[in-house]
């Protein structure tokens, strides 16, 4: 299966159209994406919504997790990590110290990307087809996608209509 991705010129036009108060609409693997810049504290990040929604349940083991950015962080500062690694290595040996060091990292998923370039790299890596669509097409695609997949867009407490 060949990938149908956007050209460099199309990504440049997305960069030009993207802003804090404007969105760019993409159809990624048949899923309607609304991509926009957003403030996250003091930073401006690029984020996306699927069919104008984003549920927290999608962050853990869901079909949409492949589109999310995976971030690894350490519980300790570099200085503290090196200090404690040195102590553990001396007392318990290199093997146990290495195992401890691996356990000090945690990973989480987020829909926030630090830049459009990082969003572009990630989405082109995981998606098979990407195309730019207009708002009317996005609205229609969102409605159709929600009708086709109601299980993705409901609260756990709600009953699925049959």
What pLDDT, in 10s, does the model give residues 45-57? 998 888 777 776 6
CA distance readout (Å), 66 to 31, 58, 125 = 13, 10, 10
What pLDDT, in 10s, does the model give residues 127-151? 999 999 999 999 999 888 888 877 7
70 and 109 in contact (C-beta within 8 Å)?
yes
Tell me, yes or no, if the pTM score tops 0.85. no
Of 69, 73, 74, 72, the closest CA to residue 115 belongs to 69
Q: Which two tokens stand for residue 82?
A: 């090196």
Whether 20 has a pLDDT exceeding 90, the answer reads no
Listed by start position, the domains of the chain span 1-68+111-155, 70-110
């Amino acid at each position: 299966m060949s990938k149908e991705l956007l050209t460099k010129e199309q990504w440049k036009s997305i960069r030009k159209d993207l802003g804090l108060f404007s969105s760019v609409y993409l159809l990624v693997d048949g899923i309607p994406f609304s991509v926009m810049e957003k403030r996250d504290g003091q930073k401006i990040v690029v984020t996306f919504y699927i069919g104008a929604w984003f549920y927290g349940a999608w962050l853990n083991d869901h079909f949409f997790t492949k589109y999310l950015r995976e971030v690894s962080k350490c519980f300790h500062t570099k200085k503290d990590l090196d200090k404690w690694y040195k102590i553990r290595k001396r007392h318990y040996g290199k093997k146990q110290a290495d195992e401890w060091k691996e356990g000090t990292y945690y990973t989480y998923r987020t829909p926030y990307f630090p830049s459009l370039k990082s969003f572009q790299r990630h989405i082109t890596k995981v998606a098979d087809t990407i195309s730019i669509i207009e708002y009317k097409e996005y609205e229609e695609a969102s409605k159709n996608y929600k009708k086709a997949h109601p299980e993705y867009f409901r609260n756990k407490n709600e009953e699925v209509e049959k």
